[in-house]
Every structure is written in structure tokens, then in C-alpha cells.
Amino acid sequence: MKISLRLLPLTLLFVVLLSTASGQVVPTNEWVHFYSANTTLNSSPIPVGALIDAYDPDGVHCGADTVRTAGEYGFMNVYADDNITTPGVDEGADEGDDITFYINGVLATPLGPDDANYVSTFAILEVDLGVSYELGILLTAPSDDGGSPNTYVDYSFALTNTGEGIDFFHLDAWSEGTWTAELISPATTGYMNSGSVTMVTVRHHIPGSALPFETDILHLSATSAMSLESTILADTAQVTTTAETSAAGDHDPFIPGVFELFQNYPNPFNPTTRIEFSLERAMDVELSVYNVIGQKIATLTDGFYSAGTYDIEWDATDETGRKVASGIYFYRLTTDDYSRTRKMMLMK
């Protein structure tokens, strides 16, 4: 079958559109094996994970393989049309058909030594392929967010394949500080078509020990498995999570059977206030006061307490005995396993 050179690109475009619409290879009882030990992407050995697809001149998807060893593919079965049992359905090639190959959805050039032709059933043909195309990744971060200690914030990053071919991505999420990052969806690896966008959900866990206004940075990176070693293609994006603490502590998890930290009284206050807490059992506790940027300014008590209810006064002075300014402060009770924080206001 001859196609004029002028018509070739449009015909091939049609083939791709048709094939991605119809998709699956239908195996028949006759095929040709194609293979290569010298197939390249952008002049380097084709990487593991690359997708090779074969089409007959009718645009039928009649062969598929995934690269398992860099630079190689095959044996890859390219199937014939079964003209006897399914005369009305075209499953693939007829003898003498030229076969068109795509790598990651991009037209590949057959480089021999054998012709890319369904010469005769059960032939074994060595056809090296070469393809060149641009790779591209774009990761877009959502807005910064916040949440209470002992909870988490889910972020949706947009991952776009801005390259010209299908790519195979590796995702990696991590936290810059001591908090934890968890990739929720999709899986850590996956294929994406050129131009497509995938939303990646990453969960940033805020530990119970996080102080008010403490922040941590969450990173997400996407790396292309199709990029070559010398030019690793990757993109990263980041968001900052802030630990928040509400006045009533209404986002704090309830900690039954351990302790309770009550709202200070009076509040707002001037010049002193009382902070009450109760312990269900004996334990080490620390009660401290923090300013709005998360700095500890006073330790009200730190020691071993038996079970019971206690009441501690704060006279609005810092560790050095100086009076602190009007404004919002946090007080926090910390035990070996838990902590709880509440907000109070000094109003002079």
C-alpha cells in the first residue's frame, strides 16, 4: 500500500486518533514477531516503561509492548487480520502490509535492518526504532492552608504532561520539617497522555505537638521516567501548612481518660488569670504560655502530678518577670503522650 508523502502526516494523525479511540489489540492465530536491541528515544536507549504500539495501514491497533530492558523491545506480536472466522472485523495486518510504530504515542522511524512489513505469518523481524520528542512536566501547587494539631490538611496539586508524548511519572511527597507528608492518590507511578492533567492529593499531617502558628512546608515532585540520565526532567511544587488553634479548642481531639484543660478564667483578663486542668491519673505535665508567633514566653509549672484537679495562676509576666503586652496568648498543657492548647487574651 502506497501513501503519498504529502498525505502521510494527516493519515497518521487519523490513525492515532482512531487507535486511541478503539484501543485494545485483539489477538488472532497469526502474527509476526518484531524485536530490537537498539531502539532510541532522543538518541539514547529507550527507557524502561516506554510504550510501543503497532498499527496496520487501516489504523488497526495490532501490537503493543512495554520496554522492560533499556534500549530493547520484543518479541512483540503484531497480529494478522483473521479473514476466515471474523470476515467482517479487521483485527490487523494482511501479508505485505507496512506496519507503523509509535513510541509513547509519537510516530517512530523504523531504522532496519529488516523492513517494518508484515512480510509473512510467523516471521521474526528485527526493526530498530527511533523517536524524538519534547518532554515536559508542570506541577501547580494549591494555596497555603492550615489546620489544628492532631489533624491533617489535604492538598490537590495539578500535574500536567506538557510534553509531546505519553510519559511515565514518579511522584514523591515529603515534608521539609518534622511533620509527615502522605501521597493519597494517584499511585506513585502512572502513565499520562500528552496534554492531560491529573490531580494529585497529598495529605500533610499536623502533629499533636505542633505549636500555634508553627508551619511546615510540604513538597511534591514529579519525575519523568522517559527523561535521560543526563537531563533528568522533574518539577516540584510546595505549600506551607500552618498549625492553628481556635479559642475554644473546638478542633482539638477529645482525649478521654487522660486529662482535660479548661478555658482560663477570667478571659479576657487583666492583670491575672487562672488556668485549671484535671488529670485522670498521675503523670508528668508541663503548662506553658506562648505568644502568637509560637515562642514560649513562660513556664507556669513543670513536674509530676497525681490524679486530681489543679488551678494555676498566671500574672501576665514572662520568664524574666517582665509584664507582657496586651494581646492574644496560648497556653498549652503537655504530657508524655498528648498536648492541648487554648487561647486567651490579655486586655490592659
Asked if 30 touches Ca ion (CB under 5 A), the answer is: no
Written as nine digits, the cell of 167 is: 510519559
Q: Which is nearer to Ca ion, 100 or 245 (CB)?
A: 100
Shortest spacing between CB 225 and Ca ion, in angstroms: 32
**Total number of residues shown for the chain:** 348
Q: Which of residues 118-147 bind Ca ion (CB under 5 A)?
A: none
- Is residue 81 a contact point for Ca ion (CB under 5 A)? yes
β-partners of residue 311 are 276
Stretch that binds Ca ion, among 88-96, 171-179, 201-209, 329-337 (CB under 5 A): 88-96
CA distances from 310 to 260, 272, 282, 343 (A): 11, 16, 12, 18
In terms of CB distance, is 58 or 114 closer to Ca ion?
Answer: 58
Helix-strand-coil split of the chain, %, nearest 5: 5, 50, 45
Q: Closest CB to Ca ion among 56 and 252?
A: 56
Residues 331 and 275: beta-carbon distance below 8 Å: yes
Q: Would you say 93 or 135 has its CB closer to Ca ion?
A: 93
**Minimum CB–partner distance for residue 101 and Ca ion (Å):** 16
Nearer to Ca ion, 72 or 90 (CB): 90
Q: In angstroms, what is the minimal distance from the CB of 28 to Ca ion?
A: 7
Three-state secondary structure call for residue 201: strand
- Does 86 bind Ca ion (CB under 5 A)? Our answer is yes
**Least spacing, CB of residue 19 vs Ca ion, in Å:** 12
For the chain, how big is the Rg over CA atoms in Å? 32
CB of 34 or CB of 133, closer to Ca ion: 34
Other CB atoms within 10 Å distance of the CB of residue 4? 7
Question: How far apart are CB 84 and Ca ion at their closest, in Å?
Answer: 8
Instruction: Choose between 3 and 247: whose C-beta lies nearer to Ca ion.
Output: 3
Work out the number of other CB atoms within 10 angstroms of the CB of residue 224.
23
Minimum distance of Ca ion from residue 56's CB (angstroms): 4
Residue 13 in contact with residue 59, Cβ under 8 Å? Answer: no
Task: State which residue, 97 or 252, has the beta carbon closest to Ca ion.
Answer: 97
29 lies in the binding site for Ca ion (CB under 5 A): no
For the bound state, the minimum distance from the C-beta of residue 52 to Ca ion, rounded and expressed in Å, comes to: 19
Residue 90 as a binder of Ca ion (CB under 5 A): the answer is yes
Q: Does 95 bind Ca ion (CB under 5 A)?
A: no
Kindly state the cell numbers that stand for 249. 479548642
State the DSSP H helix or E strand holding residue 77, giving kind and residue range, or none if neither: strand 73-79
Instruction: Give the residues across from 340 on adjacent strands.
Output: 333
Q: 55 near 99, Cβ under 8 Å?
A: yes
Residues 150-169 that bind Ca ion (CB under 5 A): none
Using CB under 5 A as the binding rule, whether residue 82 contacts Ca ion is answered as yes
> How many CA atoms lie less than 13 Å away from 53 in the CB half-sphere?
21
- Binding to Ca ion by CB under 5 A, coded x per residue (else -) over 38-77, reads ------------------x-x-------------------
DSSP 321: S
H or E element in which residue 18 lies: helix 8-22
Residue of 10, 17, 89, 282 interacting with Ca ion (CB under 5 A): 89
Contact set with Ca ion (CB under 5 A): 56, 58, 81-82, 86, 89-91
